[in-house]
Amino acid sequence: MPREHRKVPGKQGSGIRKSGKVFGQGQKTVKMVRAGLYARVSTQDQQTLPMQNCAMREYAARRGWTIAMQVKEVGSGATQRKLREELLESARRREIDVVVVWRLDRWGRSVTDLLTTLQELEHLGVGFVSLTEALDLTTPAGRAMAALLAVFAEFEREILSERVRAGLAHARQNGKRLGRPLTAGLHASQIRKLHRAGHSKSEISRCLNIGRTSVRRILDRRSQA
């Protein structure tokens, strides 16, 4: 799977720059916002990658942000976003101040995954911007939208839980045994009885539907007693 990860040289540092004197006033400290850009496409849709990058770079320029890190990832939606994790690691090291993506589904694998990463970024004090949805978590309106995402994430978890419960109920109706298998200890007397009758350990294992190692352990314990 092709992947690309590039840090923009010469952009790292304290994130602070000083402005010159204005009308005789002293120097003023201005915080330099360092942006991490994340673009992602599927293996069949790589032609949109330049468009994503162009849109994000133009947005960062309009905001006056410095591009400190740029990540381009290619792969199917089911795979782990390994380069996204590297971008998150940079945020944890306080090397970037804001993450910019072209669209939310480029960043999150699910609503729950999206919310989890956004909450972590908020905890780290790192902003998040998605251009297509006009989501900017550096603003009060953007944070309100993130609260709505939390509602949808909870809804998604409830749907998954309901599906699991329905699957278990269907299995029970079809006579499938659920949960952990019975331990060999519950069959100890039967194991010894079958062994005394001349059955091999493999036969006992198949007959009682338990592991051969468990049968051997029961019989060895008996011989040591």
Instruction: Point out the residues that are catalytic.
Output: 42
In DSSP terms, 6 is beta-bridged to: 70
3-class DSSP state for residue 90?
helix
Tokens 């101040």 — which residue? 97
Beta strand pairing call for 34-41 and 98-101:
parallel
Amino acid at 180: R
Burial class (CB in 10 A: 0-12, 13-18, 19+), 208: middle
3-class DSSP state for residue 179?
coil
Query: Distance between CA 223 and CA 225 in Å, rounded?
Result: 6
List of residues 6+ apart from 52 with CB closer than 8 A:
39, 41, 102, 106
